[in-house]
Structure 1
Amino acid sequence: MYVAARSIGSSWLQRVRHRSVTWITSRSLVRAVPTHVPGRVSLLGKGLVLSSLSLLAIQSYRWKSKHAVVYASIKVEDVKEQADYLYGSGETEKLYEFLSQYKDSEDPEILWRMSRASRDLSLLGKISSDEKKRLVYESYNFAKKAMEINESCSAAHKWLAISLSDVGDYEGIKVKVGNAYHIKDHFQRAIQLNPKDATSIHLLGLWCYSFADLSWYQVKIAAALFATPPSSTFEEALIYFEKAEEVDPNFYSKNLLYLGKSFLKLKNKELAVLWLHKAKDYPARTEEDKEVHKEATQMLKSLGEKV
Structure 2
Amino acid sequence: MKGTQSETELMRSLKPKRSRNVRKANSILSTTTTATEDYNSAVSIDSSDLEFYDVSDEELDAPNANSTNGFAINNLDNILKEIDTELDSYSVTQLEKSLQRLEDLLFDYPENTDILWRLGKAHHKISENSDDKEFVQDHISKGIEILSKALNLKEDDPDVHKWYAILVGSRSEFVSLQERIDDGHKFKKHVDAAIALSPNDPSLHYMLGRFDFEVAGLKWYERKVAATLFSEPPNATYADALLHFMQAEQLANFEFKENKLMIAKCKIATSDYKEAMEWLTQASNCKQGDGLDDKIDSEVKALLGKYNSYR
Shorter-chain-normalised TM-score: which range? 0.7 to 0.9
Alpha-carbon separation, structure 2, partners of 1:232 and 1:240: 12
Residue 11 of structure 1: how far off its partner (Å): 5.2
Residue 257 of structure 1: how far off its partner (Å): 0.5
- Given that residues 283 and 289 in structure 1 are in contact (C-alpha distance below 8 angstroms), is that contact kept between their aligned partners in structure 2? no
Q: Identify the match of residue 23 of structure 1 among 40, 53, 63.
A: 40
- Given that residues 153 and 193 in structure 1 are in contact (C-alpha distance below 8 angstroms), is that contact kept between their aligned partners in structure 2? yes
Q: Are 1:186 and 2:203 counterparts?
A: no
Q: Are 1:97 and 2:86 counterparts?
A: no
- Given that residues 11 and 22 in structure 1 are in contact (C-alpha distance below 8 angstroms), is that contact kept between their aligned partners in structure 2? no
Task: List structure 1 runs of 4+ shifted beyond 6 angstroms.
Answer: 40-43
- Given that residues 268 and 276 in structure 2 are in contact (C-alpha distance below 8 angstroms), is that contact kept between their aligned partners in structure 1? yes
Matched ranges for 1:77-226 at <5 A: 77-90=77-90, 91-104=94-107, 105-125=110-130, 128-226=132-230
Alpha-carbon separation, structure 2, partners of 1:158 and 1:210: 18
Alpha-carbon separation, structure 2, partners of 1:301 and 1:171: 34
Residue 247 of structure 1: how far off its partner (Å): 0.6
Residue 134 of structure 1: how far off its partner (Å): 2.5
Letter in 1 for 2:156: S
Aligned to 2:185, the other structure's residue is in SS state helix
Q: Which has the higher contact order (CA 8 A, sep 6+)?
A: 2
Aligned to 2:40, the other structure's residue is in SS state coil
1:143/1:5 CA distance change after superposition, 3 Å:
same
1:302/1:153 CA distance change after superposition, 3 Å:
same
Residue 226 of structure 1: how far off its partner (Å): 4.5
Aligned to 2:204, the other structure's residue is in SS state helix
Aligned to 2:69, the other structure's residue is in SS state helix
Aligned pairs, how many? 269
Unaligned runs of 5+ in 2: 1-23, 45-52, 62-66
Residue 240 of structure 1: how far off its partner (Å): 0.5
Residue 284 of structure 1: how far off its partner (Å): 2.6
Q: Identify the match of residue 257 of structure 1 among 261, 266, 283.
A: 261
Choose 157-166 or 233-242, whichever is displaced more: 157-166
Q: Are 1:6 and 2:26 counterparts?
A: yes
Q: Over aligned residue pairs, what C-alpha RMSD do you find?
A: 3.1
TM-score, normalised by the number of residues in structure 1:
0.76
Alpha-carbon separation, structure 1, partners of 2:106 and 2:26: 24
Alpha-carbon separation, structure 2, partners of 1:258 and 1:41: 43
Matched ranges for 1:227-242 at <5 A: 228-242=232-246
Q: Are 1:247 and 2:285 counterparts?
A: no
Structure-2 residue corresponding to 1:57: none
Matched ranges for 1:285-300 at <5 A: 285=289, 288-300=292-304
Alpha-carbon separation, structure 1, partners of 2:277 and 2:182: 35
Residue 83 of structure 1: how far off its partner (Å): 0.8
Identical positions, percent:
22
- Given that residues 241 and 255 in structure 1 are in contact (C-alpha distance below 8 angstroms), is that contact kept between their aligned partners in structure 2? yes
Unaligned runs of 5+ in 1: 16-20, 28-39, 55-66
Alpha-carbon separation, structure 2, partners of 1:133 and 1:215: 26
Alpha-carbon separation, structure 1, partners of 2:84 and 2:73: 17
Residue 171 of structure 1: how far off its partner (Å): 4.0
C-alpha distance after superposition, 1:76-118 (max 9, x if no partner): 2023112112123332111112212123421111111000001
